[in-house]
């Protein structure tokens, strides 16, 4: 299911399809390209990659061994002012190796072309437009800003990435948020290295491979595997609603080392398992050693645990203490920076430092707790077992056989309620003895938004007066707290009035906004709703939910590129009680309805009944499945359209 959702396809590189060679060399910009006003195959495109070429090859040095060389050439056309940002290019490169030299990146041949008075004018990049900066102790970034870029420009640049890391080649992306007219990628790999190749996304390029005889310093007459990938007219991967991370679905070629097989030497298997990766990480001083630090908090822990008798109370007290005391510096990762002891003293730290001290304190309170490695949503879904695919760490505690996931970096999380960007399929729990297991990060219990309305129609039939109680649980409560933490009531109420069918809020109160984060947020509203129904021929025509509920179909695209992703299981419930105005009676009411997908992935129920002088309406939407593949889009679109039609059917009241 996972591979189907993210659109990953595996290929054995053994085909020998002929690919027509074309000339996309740098410096061959034409007047026709500069005159072009819009990309012919997508006139909405703000820019287009006219060509991207890549080449990966190996060189050998007797001191350092083999080095991988990755050369990339781009030609990009700017069509609209929104596309000017493509003049800024950045390449991240790794500098955190233990036994290898840092990767190196160098830009070259960076030129802007413009058409002036019918002639092509070139503007070359000078040194002032090129920079290198440190991101963290593992990553640097090289950036350039091409000069004199305007609407209509064509820009070109080349960069080379050199790395002694042969275990994982850089991903070659060939799909972006703008169209790609043409790409080609060639790899030249000595037969000593056998790579597993994975093609990610929905575009299948043409591929070919062949053996070639090579003479180099390392060995005479060894063979090299030359592979080629190419495609044309690749559409832009555009933003869509209900997507976890767009990068999970864009076209990309990935290569992971499986075997190293040098002459007269044993074959070395580099195929990693998740278990092996996790065990290696735990042994690092900046990881496992930090989990044994505990003396620095012993006095505070004694105070925290006063009055906490059972394990659940101890867990909640420790979690609340760490969450309140510590301030996250917004740095992700699973290694400490300054160390848990110093972070504790300074009351600020990165993800690892905060959650490691949480683990140590829980263990000191005789609660089993272990780190869980995570790749956040924005980091993507891990495919190859590799230590670099993780960028976050949380805590898994266990009490009475029940697992509880924790993250103390966020001021509004609670036990088993994690930050939304952590809900990315599975994490990897690791223990000090090297054992490991996969942990689901997706919540099993539905979060709820429950709306309870009691309304009356005023005697003049001009408005509704009523009360609205909104109860938000779990992730809906987290969303509310996070989104509105810094907002004033005035700005929030203005948003509510626009969201809820134009109601006029007379009184507002919120309970448990920041107090008990494990319990629901409750909002109470007194409101007035003007002209909530139509009066035709003396009859009142009103919608069952009075304009609350779905105003429009959230799935309104004609076609869908990517799978549909809901962040968590969710329930949206409305319970409405409306008094029948004096002198009126019910002429007709819509029949109660219940529709569902075949697997009950989504269920919708609408019940309308009369109880003496009141109408009771209940609307329940249950989203029980968080992921739907692209092929299910039309089904979802039709489902929600049916819901909207149900909610737009009219209750008719006539004079008694």
**pLDDT above 70 for 6:** no
**pLDDT above 50 for 20:** no
Lowest mean pLDDT among 14-18, 43-47, 559-563, 613-617: 14-18
**pLDDT above 60 for 157:** yes
The pLDDT of residue 98: 79
Q: What is the mean pLDDT of the chain?
A: 92
**pLDDT above 90 for 302:** yes
Taking residue 269's Cβ as centre, other Cβ atoms within 10 Å add up to: 12
Interval 537-559: pLDDT, tens: 999 999 999 989 888 999 999 99
Place of tokens 């109370």: 313
Interval 554-580: pLDDT, tens: 999 999 999 999 999 999 999 999 999
Q: DSSP for 393-460, please give it.
A: EEEEEEETTEEEEE-TTSTT-BTTB--GGG-SSEEEEE-TTS-EEEEE-S-SSPEEEEEEEEEEE-TT
Considering only CA atoms, which of 613, 611, 533, 612 is closest in space to residue 581? 613
The runs of H, that is alpha helices, within 36-87 are: none
Interval 517-528: pLDDT, tens: 999 999 999 999
Considering only CA atoms, which of 269, 293, 288 is closest in space to residue 278? 288
Mean pLDDT of 101-111: 96
The pLDDT of residue 487: 81
Cα distances (Å, whole numbers) of residue 179 to 39, 58, 248? 9, 30, 17
The pLDDT of residue 656: 87
The β-bridge partners of 175 are none
The pLDDT of residue 188: 96
Considering only CA atoms, which of 461, 578, 463, 468 is closest in space to residue 530? 463
Cα distances (Å, whole numbers) of residue 606 to 140, 303, 447, 551, 578? 55, 52, 20, 16, 15
Q: pLDDT-based confidence at 295, cuts 50/70/90? A: confident
Q: Which residue has the higher pLDDT, 273 or 312?
A: 312
- Select the highest-mean-pLDDT range: 261-270, 412-421, 494-503: 412-421
The percentage of residues in the chain with a pLDDT greater than 70, rounded to a whole number, is 95
Sequence-distant (≥ 6) Cβ neighbours of residue 67 within 8 angstroms: 58, 59, 60, 61, 162, 163, 164
Q: Which residue has the higher pLDDT, 349 or 276?
A: 349
Interval 628-645: pLDDT, tens: 999 999 999 999 999 999
Contact (Cβ atoms closer than 8 angstroms) between residue 73 and residue 191: no
Place of tokens 């209940």: 618
**pLDDT above 90 for 264:** no
């Amino acid at each position: 299911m996972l591979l189907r959702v993210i659109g990953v396809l595996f290929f054995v590189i053994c085909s020998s399809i002929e690919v027509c060679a074309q000339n996309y060399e740098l410096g061959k910009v034409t007047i026709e390209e500069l005159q072009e006003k819009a990309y012919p195959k997508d006139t909405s495109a703000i820019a287009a990659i006219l060509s991207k070429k890549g080449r990966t090859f190996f060189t050998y040095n007797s001191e350092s061994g083999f080095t991988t060389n990755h050369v990339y050439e781009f030609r990009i056309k700017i069509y609209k002012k929104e596309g000017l940002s493509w003049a800024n290019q950045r390449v991240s490169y790794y500098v955190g190796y233990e036994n290898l030299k840092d990767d190196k990146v160098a830009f070259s041949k960076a030129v802007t072309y413009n058409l002036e008075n019918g002639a092509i004018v070139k503007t070359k990049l000078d040194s002032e437009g090129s920079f290198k900066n440190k991101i963290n102790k593992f990553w640097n970034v090289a950036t350039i800003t091409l000069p004199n870029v305007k609407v209509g420009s064509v820009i070109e640049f080349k960069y080379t990435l050199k790395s002694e890391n042969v275990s994982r080649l850089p991903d070659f992306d060939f799909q972006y948020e703008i169209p790609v007219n043409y790409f080609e990628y060639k790899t030249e790999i000595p037969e000593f290295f056998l790579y597993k190749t994975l093609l990610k996304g929905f575009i299948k390029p043409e591929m070919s491979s062949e053996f070639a005889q090579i003479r180099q310093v390392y060995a005479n007459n060894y063979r090299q595997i030359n592979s080629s990938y190419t495609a044309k007219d690749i559409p832009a991967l555009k933003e869509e609603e209900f997507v976890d991370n767009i990068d999970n679905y864009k076209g990309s070629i990935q290569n992971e080392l499986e075997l190293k097989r040098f002459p007269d030497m044993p074959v070395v298997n580099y195929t990693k398992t998740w278990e092996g990766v996790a065990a290696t990480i735990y042994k690092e001083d900046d990881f496992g050693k930090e989990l044994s630090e505990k003396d620095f908090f012993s006095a505070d822990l004694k105070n925290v645990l006063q009055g906490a008798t059972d394990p659940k109370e101890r867990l909640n007290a420790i979690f609340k203490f760490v969450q309140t005391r510590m301030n996250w510096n917004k740095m992700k990762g699973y290694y400490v920076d300054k160390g848990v002891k110093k972070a504790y003293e300074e009351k600020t730290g990165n993800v690892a430092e905060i959650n490691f001290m949480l683990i140590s304190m829980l263990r000191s309170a005789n609660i089993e707790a272990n780190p869980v490695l995570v790749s956040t949503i924005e980091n993507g879904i891990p495919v190859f077992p590799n230590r670099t695919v993780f960028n976050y760490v949380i805590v898994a505690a266990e009490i009475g056989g029940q697992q509880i996931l924790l993250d103390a970096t966020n001021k509004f999380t609670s036990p088993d309620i994690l930050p939304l960007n952590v809900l990315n399929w599975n994490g990897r729990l690791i223990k000090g003895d090297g054992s490991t297991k996969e942990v689901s990060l997706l919540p099993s219990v539905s979060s709820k938004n429950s709306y309870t309305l009691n309304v009356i129609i005023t005697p003049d039939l001009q408005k509704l007066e009523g009360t609205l109680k909104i109860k938000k649980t779990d992730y809906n409560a987290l969303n509310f707290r996070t989104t509105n933490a810094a907002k004033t009531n005035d700005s929030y109420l203005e948003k509510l009035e626009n969201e809820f069918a134009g109601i006029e809020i007379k009184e507002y109160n919120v309970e448990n906004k920041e107090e008990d984060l494990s319990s629901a947020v409750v909002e109470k509203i007194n409101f007035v709703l003007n002209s909530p129904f139509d009066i035709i021929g003396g009859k009142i025509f009103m919608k069952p939910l009075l304009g609350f509920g779905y105003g429009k179909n959230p799935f309104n695209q004609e076609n869908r590129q990517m799978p549909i992703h809901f962040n968590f299981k969710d329930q949206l419930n409305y319970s409405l009680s409306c008094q029948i105005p004096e002198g009126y009676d019910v002429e007709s009411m819509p029949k109660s309805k219940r529709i569902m997908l075949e697997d009950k992935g989504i269920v919708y129920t609408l019940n309308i009944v009369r109880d003496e002088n009141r109408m009771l309406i209940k609307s329940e939407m249950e989203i029980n499945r968080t992921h739907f593949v692209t092929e299910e889009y039309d089904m979802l679109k039709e489902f929600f359209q049916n819901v909207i039609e149900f909610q737009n059917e009219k209750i008719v009241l006539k004079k008694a």
